[in-house]
Amino acid sequence: MRSKLGKQALVILGLAFLVMIGALVWFSGQGESRHSSGNTAIKPTKQVSEKKSTSEKKSQDSALPRVSPSDWELVLVNRENITPELYPELETVDNITVDRRIAENVRNFLKAAQEVDPAFHLISGYRSVAYQKELFQSYVDQEKASDPSLSDQEAEKLVKTYSQPGGASEHQTGLAIDLSTVDALNQADKSSMEKIHKMAPDYGFVLRFQEGKTAFTGVGYEDWHFRFVGKDSARYMTDHGLTLEEYIKQLKEK
């Protein structure tokens, strides 16, 4: 009888032990599921932070490039910024000379343009202030020859619509090129020109004298005149439709 009771007590103890083990297993399982549900709760937070970093990147893309208006490739030369001879170190590309530092970009841009149309060629690159003065005077003389009633001042005013006086042309920087399929301004096939206007920033260039921007540049539309400003600035200026004058103003206000 005593041993029977002892057996029963053992069985009860054994059962109680199993129940405890079961309870422990169940509890730890609950814990794990809480943990994994914790993981699922973390995921959306992670996605939010990923989204945030994408939008941060986007705002960085549209932010002004980290450049200075005093960087060599951003030198501003126009009729309001008359500049003396700059004597850049020159390198010949095709049949013209440019600032040695942009020769590779010019070569690559020309090559890409010739893939659009093999007729693309370089018309002009570096021109000294002295040569620009001669060039400007020769245009003034031509205007006066074709219309002898013009005064010097009237002839100069006329010439300024398509050429710059010495010291006012950015060709003296060695950072400007004229690139077209033909040797005449605004006479090239429009669709070919549009294609190279779009690809110019990939090589660090901008179309310098755009339509409707004469108020800022003082120069009318020129389909062939490209100016090297560096890839970051070229992309930003093109995306935001800015002339070099407007872009430099923004950099100075930064």
CB 145 within 8 A of CB 100: no
Q: How far apart are CB 226 and Zn ion at their closest, in Å?
A: 8
Q: How many chain residues interact with Zn ion (CB under 5 A)? A: 2
For CA atoms 208, 213, 216, 222, give the dihedral sign: positive
Q: Smallest distance, Å, CB 248 to Zn ion?
A: 19
| Residue 248: count of CB within 10 angstroms of its CB | 19
Cα–Cα distance, 99 to 77 (Å, whole number): 15
Applying CB under 5 A, which of residues 175, 178, 181, 227 lies at the interface with Zn ion?
Answer: 178
Regarding 223 and contact with Zn ion (CB under 5 A), the answer is no
Nearer Cβ to Zn ion, position 91 or 170? 170
CB of 176 to Zn ion, least distance (A): 5
Among residues 144, 160, 213, 225, the one that binds Zn ion under rule CB under 5 A: 225
All residues at 6 or more sequence positions from 84 whose CB lies less than 8 Å from its CB, including other chains = 129, 167
Considering beta carbons, is residue 205 or 247 the nearer one to Zn ion?
A: 205
Closest separation in Å from C-beta 219 to Zn ion: 9
Outline where DSSP puts E strands in 100-245: 121-124, 176-180, 205-207, 225-228
How far is residue 30 from each of residues 26, 40, 192, 237, measured CA to CA in Å?
A: 6, 15, 69, 59
Residue among 213 and 225 whose Cβ is closer to Zn ion? 225
Q: Position 152: which residue type?
A: D
* Residue number, nearest CB to Zn ion: 225
Q: How far is the CB of 168 from Zn ion (least distance, A)?
A: 12
Nearest to 221 by CA among 252, 192, 190: 190
Q: Which stretch binds Zn ion (CB under 5 A): 34-42, 96-104, 134-142, 221-229?
A: 221-229
Residue 227 CB, nearest distance to Zn ion (Å)? 9
Which region, judged by CB under 5 A, interacts with Zn ion, from 18-26, 132-140, 170-178, 226-234?
Answer: 170-178
Stretch that binds Zn ion, among 2-10, 65-73, 113-121, 173-181 (CB under 5 A): 173-181
Put residue 218 in one of left, alpha, beta given phi > 0 → left and psi -120 to 50 → alpha: left
Q: CA of 29: how far to CAs of 24, 32, 40, 42, 59, in Å?
A: 8, 5, 17, 20, 46
Q: How far is residue 51's CA from residue 118's CA, in Å, rounded to a whole number?
A: 45
We find the least distance from the C-beta atom of residue 78 to Zn ion, in angstroms, to be 12
- Site residues for Zn ion per CB under 5 A: 178, 225
